[in-house]
Every structure is written in structure tokens, then in C-alpha cells.
């Protein structure tokens, strides 16, 4: 069974007091070629690193306002 990483990434800016500056954007990242040697639940950080290094496209969930 293939392993698929399906995550939502929120790109935000914070004020010095910790509040989110509006608008922000959200993107969905679906990455379908995770090496079989990486185990979900055990190698999650390695999976995220692998995807970050190899992912070339993200899909906006909604346009920036």
C-alpha cells in the first residue's frame, strides 16, 4: 500500500504579541512518493524532511484575501 503525505500548511505572519496578521493563506500538500523504508508513526520527521526537499508544487485551498 503506498504511503501518502496529505497536509495543510498555513502561511502566517505574527505580531510581536503573538497574534496572527490577516490575511493568511493555506495550502494543501499531497505527496505520493514516500520511500517504503520510512514508516508512518516512527519516521514522521524524516518523511516531512523528505517531502520538503522534494515537493515542487502546492495547491492553494483558497485565494489570499
**pLDDT band for position 61 (cuts 50, 70, 90):** low
**pLDDT band for position 16 (cuts 50, 70, 90):** very high
For the question of whether the overall pTM of this predicted structure is more than 0.75, the answer is: no
Domain boundaries, the chain: 5-60
In percent, the amount of the chain with pLDDT more than 90 equals: 12
Q: Is 31 exposed, middle or buried (0-12, 13-18, 19+ CB in 10 A)?
A: buried
Q: Rounded CA gap, 54 and 30, in Å? A: 12
Residues 6+ apart with CB under 8 A from 60: 25, 26, 27, 28
CB-CB neighbours of 43 under 10 Å: 16
pLDDT number for residue 19: 93
Amino acid at each position: 500500500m503506498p504511503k501518502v503525505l496529505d497536509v495543510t500548511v498555513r502561511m502566517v505572519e505574527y505580531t510581536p504579541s503573538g497574534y496572527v496578521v490577516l490575511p493568511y493563506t493555506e495550502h494543501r500538500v499531497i505527496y505520493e512518493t514516500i520511500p517504503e523504508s520510512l514508516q508512518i508513526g516512527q519516521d514522521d520527521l524524516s518523511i516531512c524532511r523528505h517531502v520538503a526537499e522534494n515537493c515542487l508544487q502546492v495547491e492553494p485551498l483558497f485565494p489570499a484575501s
